[in-house]
Amino acid sequence: MYSTLHRSTSSHILAVVLLGWSLMAGCGGAIHIVPPPGFAVLEGGADHGYRAVSSDGVVLAVRREKNEPRGDLGFWSGAIDAKLRRDGYRAFEAHDVTAKGVKGKQIRYAIELEGREHTYSVSVFVTETSVLTVEAGGDHELFARESQAIARAVESLTVD
């Protein structure tokens, strides 16, 4: 099992509520993603339709919300970025990503939690009716070890 530090860090990262989404009604629909090797899939829960965790406490979560107010990828990735920066996350990398041919935007952030540097990544995909986010995070060194596997998981997401 992973340590208390990783559990509390994972809980903190998963508890980040992007854009006050807890106030929005979620969209239904199954989430299809291939988990990274060595990750255990957890039950989704109210905030996330999909969650997985590595033995070291690196977490991966997917959520789908209604595209309300109706916005495009630029709107939603910008709004999420602004919210995270207000919450103290420092963006250090941004690039385009694709999930089965659907274009998205990924931004990586750093934040210090409990005296350790952590990485938090959010990939945003937008359809006519939904906004999907793939969130991943954990201790910076541990996240770095899993980053390629997480990238492959993001690419495997079915966006519909």
Residue 27 · residue 129 · CB < 8 Å: yes
What distance in Å separates the CA atoms of residue 29 and residue 136, rounded to the nearest whole number?
21
pLDDT confidence of residue 118: 97
Read off the CATH number of the domain in which 98 is found: 3.40.1000.10
Q: Could you tell me the residue range of the domain that residue 96 belongs to?
A: 4-156
* Over residues 3-21, mean pLDDT: 39
**Amino acid (1-letter code) at residue 5:** L
49 pLDDT tier (thresholds 50, 70, 90): confident
Q: Give the Cα separation of 26 and 29 in Å (integer).
A: 10
Please, which pLDDT band fits residue 45 given cuts at 50, 70 and 90? low
Per residue in 60-112, pLDDT tens? Answer: 999 999 999 999 999 999 999 999 999 999 999 999 999 998 999 999 999 99
Mean pLDDT of the chain: 84
Strand, coil or helix: 57: coil
For residues 9 and 46, give the distance between their C-alpha atoms in angstroms, rounded to a whole number.
19
Q: How many domains is the chain partitioned into structurally?
A: 1
